[in-house]
Amino acid sequence: MKRANGAGGTSKLSGKRRNPFFAFITNNWDDQGKQKKEIIEWDGRKYWETRQLAERALIMYLNDPYDFNNLDITLTGVFDHFKKMKLREDIVSIGNYNAAYNESSKLHNKRFIDIRTSDIQDIIDNMINKSYTSKNYVKIMFNQLFEIAKQKELPIKMNYAEFVILGKKELSSKHKPFSKLEKEILWKNLKQDYVDTVIILIYTGLRPSELLNVKLDKINLNKRYLIAGSKTKAGINRIIPIHKRIIPLIENRITISEDNKSEYLIWNDSKRAMNYRYYLDKYKELMIKLDLDHTPHDGRHTCSTDLDSKGANRLARKLILGHSVSGDITDGIYNSKTKEQLIATIDLLD
């Protein structure tokens, strides 16, 4: 029976051999455009007495390419199996586990059954400038890898990750502003997914949920403002001035949205507004990649704090953030002069 493309096959070595048959998978292409063949190993063997045994090895490999009968399986082998399983159920966390795996590079080629608490503790202890969250993900990853190893009946006496000490968790307030250095890190990493949204939150003062519901027809780039807002009477459908530095970011988002026929600036796979839970997962994943410790609401807090430190007009600041302005102004507050004042106020930010 003909196999599907990429599903591999079996073949026979020339000459008289005791175990002439082998199974292979196709792996990339060579310079002549031909598919490369990689002989697979299963149950500690690469060559077989009969074609039927080679076929069986191939079937077993395709079902689960990580041979847990081989005691030499490395951390990388167990992690690859773990990631394959995780992709079926929790794709949003893969970035966090990839980051944890990368932190463990010195153990990548070590036999998994030889890994001990001291090995993992050494990784944690050397993450000197890393956040508690990043360290915790390393421990979580190893906890799950040891669970897989036990399920696959590797000869492991215990979960050695259980005894790893992370150290004291940093105390933090509910919201804290991004520092100047952290903002520079964001600008230098614009190619990372969702970094632009973090910067937009910092330079608009929008609540995350407000940004996720911004529609393209509510954005006026020429006049440098958008209409958004929720939660309070003062915050609903308010004018948000667009800082000059984030105009290219919003332009790019608009282009992508229009190309994908979405009416939203930030959207999900169905082209509708992205829900906050999904965005939060992506945000956490990004913070781990950049080794920052912030929540989505810290962008709004940063905007407020920075405007205050720049001596921004109190009324303009309230209008931008959607705070109550009762008693401060009369009706008809959004005349053309007010819009210009709001733009001038937001441009105070560096």
Buried b (16+ CB within 10 A) or exposed e, 152-173: bebeeeebbbeebeeeeeeeee
Pick the range with the lowest mean pLDDT from 81-90, 109-118, 222-231: 81-90
pLDDT tens-digit map of 107-119:
999 999 999 999 9
Same domain, 59 and 79: no
pLDDT tens-digit map of 317-334:
988 988 766 555 444 444
pLDDT of 39 > 60? The answer is yes
The verdict on residue 174 lying in a domain is no
pLDDT at res. 278 = 86
pLDDT at res. 68 = 60
Residue 272 tokens, joined: 């509708």
Residue 37 tokens, joined: 């063949």
Per DSSP, the residues of 1-51 read: -PPPTTS-EEEE-SS--SS-EEEEEEEEE-TTSPEEEEE--BTTBSEESSH
pLDDT at res. 225 = 94
Same domain, 34 and 79: no
pLDDT at res. 170 = 62
Give the Cα separation of 138 and 97 in Å (integer): 8
Same domain, 105 and 205: no
pLDDT at res. 241 = 95
Number of compact structural domains in the chain: 3
Q: Of the spans 80-84, 165-169, 244-248, 316-320, which averages the highest pLDDT?
A: 244-248
Same domain, 233 and 194: yes
Average pLDDT, the chain: 83
Burial (CB count within 10 angstroms: exposed 0-12, middle 13-18, buried 19+), residue 75: buried
The verdict on residue 4 lying in a domain is no
Same domain, 191 and 146: no
Report pTM.
0.53
Cβ contacts of residue 330 below 8 Å, gap of 6+?
none
Give the Cα separation of 305 and 178 in Å (integer): 10
pLDDT of 231 > 70? The answer is no
DSSP-derived secondary structure letter, 118:
H
The verdict on residue 121 lying in a domain is yes
CATH number, residue 110:
1.10.150
pLDDT grade for 30, boundaries at 50, 70 and 90: low
Residue 188 tokens, joined: 């230098």
Q: Which domain holds residue 37?
A: 9-63
Give the Cα separation of 174 and 76 in Å (integer): 37
Same domain, 92 and 14: no
pLDDT at res. 2 = 47
Same domain, 129 and 251: no
pLDDT at res. 97 = 85
pLDDT: which is higher, 131 or 220: 220
Cβ contacts of residue 317 below 8 Å, gap of 6+?
304, 307, 308, 323, 345
Cα–Cα nearest to 161, from 86, 78, 84, 81: 78
| Mean pLDDT, rounded, for 163-191 | 84
- Report which secondary-structure segment, H or E, holds 240: strand 238-241
pLDDT at res. 133 = 82
pLDDT at res. 92 = 46
pLDDT grade for 270, boundaries at 50, 70 and 90: confident
The verdict on residue 69 lying in a domain is no
Cβ contacts of residue 216 below 8 Å, gap of 6+?
254, 257, 258, 263, 264, 265
Q: Of the spans 27-31, 79-83, 98-102, 343-347, which averages the highest pLDDT?
A: 343-347
> What phi, psi does 217 have (nearest 5°)?
-75, 0
Contact 293, 172 (CB under 8 A): yes
Give the Cα separation of 260 and 117 in Å (integer): 49
296 residue type, one letter = P
pLDDT of 198 > 90? The answer is yes
Residue 316 tokens, joined: 């303009």
Angle among Cα 106, 107, 109 to the nearest 5 degrees reads 105
Give the Cα separation of 177 and 320 in Å (integer): 17
Residue 334 tokens, joined: 């959004």
| Mean pLDDT, rounded, for 186-201 | 95
The verdict on residue 15 lying in a domain is yes
| Residue 248 Cα to chain centre, angstroms | 23
pLDDT of 41 > 90? The answer is no
pLDDT at res. 332 = 45
Same domain, 123 and 239: no
| Mean pLDDT, rounded, for 178-184 | 95
| Mean pLDDT, rounded, for 220-232 | 83
pLDDT of 213 > 80? The answer is yes
| Mean pLDDT, rounded, for 194-216 | 94
Contact 177, 306 (CB under 8 A): yes
First-last CA distance in the chain: 66
pLDDT grade for 72, boundaries at 50, 70 and 90: confident
